[in-house]
Amino acid sequence: METTRLGVLISGRGSNMRAIVEACRGGRVPAAVAVVVSNKASAAGLEWAREQGIPTRVLPHRGHGSREEHDAAVVAALREHGVEWVCLAGYMRLLSADFVEAYPGRILNIHPSLLPAFPGLDAQRQALEYGVKVSGCTVHLVDAELDHGPIVVQRPVPVLEGDSVVTLSARILEQEHLAYPEALALLLGGGWGLEGRRVRLDVDPG
């Protein structure tokens, strides 16, 4: 099976990036991470990627023009490395419409809630404050709206008595590390298509 070239965008520790890299190298995902891009030079995940021999790029967004101009620079870096699919892994930037159009249907994001519940920042805190009994994580295709695109994989995580943002976040993160490679394997391993908002995985690729 042909290996797909992935570009991973991070803003911090990059633990989901690491899960993706390890899944690719372990043969669970038919892909390879071609480049890791961050909008923050201080992102801890960059050091790990460099230690693994993965090319990295730092493209700060502050003081570098409009969102569209910054996104154009990121897309140029991705194309320079032959990236076919983009994985947002803790990338704390809302993508412009131009970015989404550059990789239509080929951008994935992971969010620490069962979307459409609790989009945006502090999803775990939102879940606790609302009093839900089950939270989780969602891998979805990216469109021009925040945490909105079609859902590929969801994994539930029970909310326990006495949970804090820290404890709930840690258990959700464990499931994120499983959900992201699962979603990539599903989309890259065979035919899929969209039926309205529903991702269909039984579509003949021919």
Q: What is the pLDDT of residues 14-41, one digit of tens each?
A: 999 999 999 999 999 999 999 999 999 9
Catalogue all structural domains in the chain, each as residue range(s) with its CATH number: 1-104 (3.40.50.170), 109-201 (3.40.50.170)
What is the overall mean pLDDT for the chain?
A: 94
pLDDT (0 to 100) of residue 206: 52
Tell me whether residue 66 is exposed, middle or buried, using C-beta atoms within 10 angstroms of its C-beta: 0 to 12, 13 to 18, 19 or more: exposed
Residue type, 23: A
Distance, in Å, from the CA atom of 132 to the CA atom of 197, rounded to the nearest integer, reads 25
DSSP character string of 136-201: EEEEEE--SSTT-SPEEEEEEEEPPTT--HHHHHHHHHHHHHHHHHHHHHHHHSS--EEETTEEES
Q: Which residues carry out catalysis?
A: 111
Does pLDDT of 64 surpass 80? no
CB 199 within 8 A of CB 152: yes
